Amino acid sequence: MKLKPLFDRVVLKPIKTETKTSGGIILADTNGEKPSEGLVVSVGNGQTGENKKQEMQVKVNDKVLFSKYGGIAFKQEGEEYIIIRQNDILGVWE
């Protein structure tokens, strides 16, 4: 992936989570709900539209939780990605 996001945007690779019962049965995702976890692939320089700079709170390879309705999904070389503003990232998994 060679896409470098601009300003305060971040490129994420969505992580699809599987639901597993206590008995070990994996349930299919039948409701089509959008993923809300992702892996940071690329990070912008932190500028905002007013030529101000903000510190980017995430870095490449961080696993993050983000707003389901934020960002724009796109495909590149058969892989799915989301480009999202840093403000739509809710937290970083440690």
| Contact criterion met (CB below 8 Å) for 83 and 5 | yes
CB atoms near residue 46 (< 10 Å)? 15
Give the span between the Cα atoms of 89 and 77, in whole angstroms: 25
| Contact criterion met (CB below 8 Å) for 13 and 80 | yes
| Contact criterion met (CB below 8 Å) for 25 and 19 | no
Report the pLDDT value the prediction gives residue 65, as an integer from 0 to 100: 94
Percent of the chain with pLDDT over 70: 82
Report residue 92: phi and psi, to 5°: -115, 130
Q: What is the mean pLDDT of residues 67-90?
A: 91
Report the pLDDT value the prediction gives residue 74, as an integer from 0 to 100: 93
Report the pLDDT value the prediction gives residue 51, as an integer from 0 to 100: 75
Q: Class for domain 9-15+32-92, per CATH? A: mainly beta
